[in-house]
Amino acid sequence: MTADPIDPLRETVVERRSLHQGRILHVFDDQVRLEDGRLARRELVEHPGAVCIVAVDEQGRIGMVRQWRHPAGRALWELPAGTRDHPGEATAATASRELREEMEASAATWRYVGAWPLAPGYSSEVMHFYLAGGIAAWPGASDPEEQLERAWFTPDEARERIREGKVDVKTIAGLALAGYTVAPESEPAAVGADG
């Protein structure tokens, strides 16, 4: 077995300064050395990782929640998702918990789709995607810190939320990974900071 070659784009941390330690996130200011020796600064949000669930009921409808997103300044329709309680928590356990809390539902079948960095320019967060079927009600499991609306949408209705600019990118990615057509038939609504 040969060793992996050193990536010419590799950056090595020279100095790390903690800026903020929150309940979920830890923010750092890193000084890094580029392969050619130059120094640069990088801000990093350390995140324990998260899951996103494409839950499909017996009628072929997709479970989604609408909740206020403070940084976006508006409510969005999203696939059920959530943060791992800690970096060592099994993502399957996180997915099961989040489906119960957000959709008040359980699933008899689970299929792991894969995991990818969500915003690698500043965050270490990796999103793990699951498909869930055999949906059954699981009442009373809501997270007390969340206010949300729950709904089951047909694929066309979900695509309409995308066209209207009323979803986030993990929802678009999750639906695409599950094999749904996510491209709107017309140009999506403009979404900006005031959106």
- Which residues are known to be catalytic? 145
- Please return the burial class of 21, using the count of CB atoms within 10 Å of its CB with bins 0-12, 13-18 and 19+: exposed
- Which contacts of 181-189 are long-range, i.e. CB under 8 A and separated by 24 or more positions? 181/155, 184/159, 188/162, 188/163, 188/164, 189/163, 189/164, 189/165
Nearest-5° Cα angle at 173, 53 to 66:
55
Q: Is 75 helix (H, G, I), strand (E, B) or coil?
A: strand
DSSP H or E stretch at residue 171:
helix 169-177
